[in-house]
């Protein structure tokens, strides 16, 4: 469904010297700076896939999504979505995808959401019957029946995002580009949006490319992730492989001794040293194959009130990937 080959976008920005005279100088001699927001990015996404697009701030995620949506032109390379070249901005392509930017609104601020939906119905030429059916389904899935006639500016952030999603899906796109759709939402709204996206993806086999800084979004929704850093793709594969195959093939052991005096403040095992926290807890990061040995060492050292073995948080795995890339 999505085919990206060596997609590159270089931004050229004017470097203004500070102050008034800096501005005047700039009139005569302009200095430019080039930023490669996307460098030689290639990937394929099959129909119905739900792919997470990860990277730190400024990695080039939004730039790539905007190129796929035809909002900005690539400097070089090609992109094809369902056979269309986004940069040509054909109407048939506009009907095929939707782009949701969590940080921007497409709904009319001073009107109830339903008015924007009606406008979109006309823009996309959606038949009355299809409009009614789609709207009823989306509104009920997202639970916003009671808010359709409320001015958008009076909606909560979560309600507004749900309305944005309805606006994006009214014309039944086959491809969805979601740029941080859960940003700023409370945990309950984040979960509601996630549940909706999962159900929608499964029911309609819509192809979804999602960026989010919330790892829960990625872990709950995406089996595959593409990671980019400084404009370059550094990983493309399953989330499991990313977690298992990372340099941090480790687990975290946390324990609280029954008698704190039985353990020194700094306790050393064969595989590392842990320092007691104010709450009396010790935390050790150990290689996965040493988990049993270290657990036995802890239990031999003295009775424990609690012991847990956890996976390294995905955030840490990814942070390590960025650091080594
Ligand atoms: N219109 C523009 N003009 C100049 N530089 C730009 C422009 N848009 C983006 N950039 C630069 O391109 C780089 C990538 O930006 P982009 O917004 O794609 O990153 P991102 O991965 O989406 O980051 P974030 O997670 O913070 O949203 C950044 O260094 C940014 O400053």
Query: Tens digit of pLDDT for each residue in 237-293?
Result: 988 887 766 555 678 889 998 887 778 888 888 888 888 888 888 988 888 888 899
| H helices present in 58-186, as ranges | 61-68, 91-94, 113-124, 128-142, 157-169
Q: Which residues line ligand 1 (CB under 6 A)?
A: 11, 13, 35, 37, 55, 57-63
Contacts for 37 with CB less than 8 Å, ≥ 6 apart = 9, 10, 11, 60, 63, 231
Contacts for 323 with CB less than 8 Å, ≥ 6 apart = none
Ligand 1: residue whose CA is nearest its atom 24:
57
pLDDT of residue 19: 81
Name the region of 26 (left: φ>0; alpha: ψ -120 to 50; beta: rest).
alpha
Q: How confident is the prediction along the chain (325 residues), in pLDDT tens digits per residue? A: 999 999 999 998 877 778 887 777 777 777 778 888 999 999 999 999 999 998 888 889 999 999 999 999 999 999 999 999 999 989 899 999 999 998 888 898 899 999 999 999 999 999 999 999 999 999 999 999 999 999 999 999 889 999 999 999 999 999 999 999 988 888 888 899 999 999 999 999 999 999 988 888 888 899 899 999 889 998 899 888 877 665 556 788 899 988 877 788 888 888 888 888 888 889 888 888 888 999 998 888 888 899 998 877 777 777 777 776 6
How many angstroms separate the CA atoms of 10 and 191, rounded? 36
* Ligand 1 atom nearest 231 alpha carbon: 14
CA-wise closest residue to 245 among 143, 185, 170, 321: 321
Kindly list the distances between the CA atom of residue 318 and the CA atoms of 88, 96, 264, 288, in Å, as whole numbers in the listed order.
35, 32, 33, 18
For a ligand 1 pocket test, name from 59, 103, 231, 319 the mutation site with the most ligand atoms within 8 angstroms of its C-beta. Answer: 59
Instruction: State the distance from the centre of ligand 1 to the C-alpha of 166, rounded, in angstroms.
Output: 27
Partner residues linked to 78 by β-bridges: 5
Instruction: State the distance from the centre of ligand 1 to the C-alpha of 63, rounded, in angstroms.
Output: 6
Q: Model-level pTM?
A: 0.80
Place of tokens 């339903």: 114
Can you tell me whether residue 9 is helix, strand or coil?
Answer: strand
Question: What tokens does 128 get?
Answer: 């009355």
pLDDT of residue 245: 61
How many angstroms separate the CA atoms of 42 and 8, rounded? 10
DSSP string, 159-203: HHHHHHHHHHHTT--SEEEEESTTTT--HHHHHHHHHHHHHHHHH
Ligand 1: residue whose CA is nearest its atom 18:
60
Ligand 1: residue whose CA is nearest its atom 30:
58
Ligand 1: residue whose CA is nearest its atom 28:
58
Phi, psi for residue 226 in degrees, rounded to 5: -115, 125
Cα angle 200-204-207, degrees, rounded to a multiple of 5: 85
Ligand 1: residue whose CA is nearest its atom 27:
57
Instruction: State the distance from the centre of ligand 1 to the C-alpha of 181, rounded, in angstroms.
Output: 17
Ligand 1: residue whose CA is nearest its atom 31:
58
């Amino acid at each position: 469904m999505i085919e990206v080959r060596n997609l590159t976008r270089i931004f050229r920005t004017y470097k203004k010297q500070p102050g008034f005279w800096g501005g005047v100088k700039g009139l005569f001699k302009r200095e430019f700076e080039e930023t490669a927001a996307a460098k030689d990015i290639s990937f394929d996404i099959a129909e119905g896939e739900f792919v997470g697009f990860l990277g730190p701030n400024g990695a080039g995620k939004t730039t790539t999504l905007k190129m796929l949506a035809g909002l900005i032109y690539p400097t070089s390379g090609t992109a094809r979505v369902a056979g269309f070249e986004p940069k040509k901005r054909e109407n048939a392509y506009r009907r095929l995808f939707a782009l949701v930017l969590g940080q921007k609104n497409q709904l009319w601020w001073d009107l109830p959401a339903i008015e924007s939906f009606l406008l979109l119905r006309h823009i996309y030429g959606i038949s009355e019957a299809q409009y009614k059916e789609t709207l009823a389904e989306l509104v009920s899935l997202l639970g916003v029946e009671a808010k359709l006639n409320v001015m958008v500016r009076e909606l909560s952030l979560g309600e507004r995002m749900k309305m944005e999603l309805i606006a994006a899906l009214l014309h039944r796109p086959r491809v969805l580009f979601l740029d941080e759709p859960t940003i700023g939402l409370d945990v309950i709204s984040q979960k509601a949006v996630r549940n909706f996206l999962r159900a929608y993806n499964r029911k309609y086999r819509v192809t979804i490319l999602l960026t989010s800084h919330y790892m829960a979004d990625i872990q709950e929704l995406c089996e595959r992730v593409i990671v980019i850093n400084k404009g370059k793709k550094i990983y493309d594969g399953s989330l499991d492989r990313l977690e298992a195959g990372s340099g941090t093939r480790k687990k975290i052991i946390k324990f609280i001794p029954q008698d704190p005096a039985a353990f020194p403040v700094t306790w050393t095992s064969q595989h590392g040293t842990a320092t007691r926290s104010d709450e009396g807890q010790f935390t050790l990061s150990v290689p996965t194959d040493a988990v049993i040995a270290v657990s036995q060492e802890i239990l031999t050292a003295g009775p424990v009130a609690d012991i847990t073995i956890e996976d390294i948080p995905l955030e840490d795995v990814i942070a390590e990937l960025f650091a080594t890339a």
